[in-house]
Amino acid sequence: MTLSARRSLAAVSALGISQIISYGTLYYSFSILAPAMGEEFARSREWLFAAFSGTLLIGGIISPWSGRWADRFGAGRVMTLGSLAAAVSLLVCAWAPNWSIFAPALVTTGIATPFILYNTAFAVLVQIDPQAAPRRITLLTLIAGFSSTLFWPLATGLLKWFTWREIFLFYAGLQLCICFPIHFWLSQMTRRSPMLKPEASSDPATFDAGSLPLASRRSALILIASGFSFGSFALSAMLVHLVPVLAAVGLGTSAVLVGTIFGPSQFASRLVNMVLGHRFSALAVAILSTALIPLAFLMLLLPPPVPLIAGAVLFAMLFGMGSGLNSIVQGTLPLALFGHRGYGEILGKITAARLTVSSTAPFIFAFILEQFGPHAALAIAAFVGCCGVVTFVMVARLVRRSYQ
Distance CA 282, CA 277 (A): 8
| pLDDT tens digits, 265-274 | 878 888 888 8
Are 396 and 280 in contact by the 8 Å Cβ rule? The answer is no
Cα dist from 103 to 55, 90, 297, whole Å:
10, 12, 30
pLDDT in the model for residue 196:
61
Least confident of 69-78, 328-337, 366-375: 366-375
Whether the pLDDT of residue 211 is over 50: the answer is yes
Task: DSSP for 302-345, please give it.
Answer: --TTS-HHHHHHHHHHHHHHHHHHHHHHHHHHHHHHH-STTHHH
pLDDT in the model for residue 206:
47
| pLDDT tens digits, 90-147 | 999 999 999 889 988 888 888 888 899 888 998 888 888 877 788 888 888 888 877 8
Task: DSSP for 52-120, please give it.
Answer: HHHHHHHHHHHHHHHHHHHHHH-HHHHHHHHHHHHHHHHHHHHH--SHHHHHHHHHHHHHHHHHHSHHH
pLDDT in the model for residue 200:
47
The confidence band for 42, taking pLDDT boundaries of 50, 70 and 90, is confident
pTM of the model: 0.79
Provide mean pLDDT across the span 208-225: 76
Provide mean pLDDT across the span 378-396: 91
Whether the pLDDT of residue 87 is over 50: the answer is yes
Left (φ > 0), alpha (ψ -120 to 50) or beta: where does 123 sit? alpha
Q: Mean pLDDT, the chain, as a whole number? A: 83
pLDDT in the model for residue 188:
84
| pLDDT tens digits, 29-38 | 887 888 888 8
Are 212 and 401 in contact by the 8 Å Cβ rule? The answer is no
The confidence band for 404, taking pLDDT boundaries of 50, 70 and 90, is low
The confidence band for 318, taking pLDDT boundaries of 50, 70 and 90, is very high
pLDDT in the model for residue 338:
85
Residue type, 201: S
Are 75 and 137 in contact by the 8 Å Cβ rule? The answer is no
The confidence band for 364, taking pLDDT boundaries of 50, 70 and 90, is confident
Distance CA 118, CA 253 (A): 32
Q: 116 Cβ partners below 8 Å, 6+ apart? A: 18, 22, 79, 82, 83, 86, 179, 183
Whether the pLDDT of residue 47 is over 70: the answer is yes
